[in-house]
């Protein structure tokens, strides 16, 4: 198998995060039609559970590979490159989302 570049790995990490955030956004957007109107404590409880799970998933998607580079392979510069490149790709996806929101108003 061909070794993937750090920039491509960063792109895949950011794409995974963007897709995951989009799916959670869809869930929250259609939450009332899926779960109905919640007038008790279960609504906020479900929201907080989804939030905590999202933090864990995003941490794994964003930080697992750089952590392995830093901790196991002792390649600090590569780990920092992956973090910065992933952040740049996330910024790109965020700007793309804003542009799409403006275009499809």
Mean pLDDT value across the chain: 93
- Res 8: pLDDT: 96
Cβ-count burial of 79 within 10 angstroms (0-12 exposed, 13-18 middle, 19+ buried)? buried
Predicted local confidence at residue 12, as pLDDT = 96
For residue 2, pLDDT over 80 is answered with: no
As a whole number of angstroms, the distance between CA 24 and CA 80 comes to: 28
Around Cβ 36, how many Cβ atoms within 10 Å? 9
The DSSP annotation for 11-22 comes to HHHHHHHHHHHH
pLDDT at 86: 97
Please state the pTM of the whole predicted model.
0.86
Domain boundary assignment for the chain: 7-32+40-103
Residue range 49-87, pLDDT digits in tens? 999 999 999 999 999 999 999 999 999 999 999 999 999
Measure the CA–CA gap between 60 and 5, rounded to whole angstroms: 19
């Amino acid at each position: 198998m061909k070794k993937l570049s750090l920039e491509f790995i960063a792109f895949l990490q950011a794409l995974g995060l963007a897709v995951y955030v989009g799916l959670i956004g869809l869930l929250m957007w259609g939450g009332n039609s899926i779960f109905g109107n919640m007038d008790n404590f279960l609504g906020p409880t479900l929201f907080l559970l989804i939030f905590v799970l999202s933090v864990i998933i995003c941490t794994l998607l964003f930080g697992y590979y750089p952590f392995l580079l830093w901790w196991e392979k002792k390649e600090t510069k590569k780990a920092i490159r992956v973090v910065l490149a992933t952040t740049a790709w996330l910024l790109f996806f965020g700007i793309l989302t804003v542009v799409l929101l403006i275009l499809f108003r």
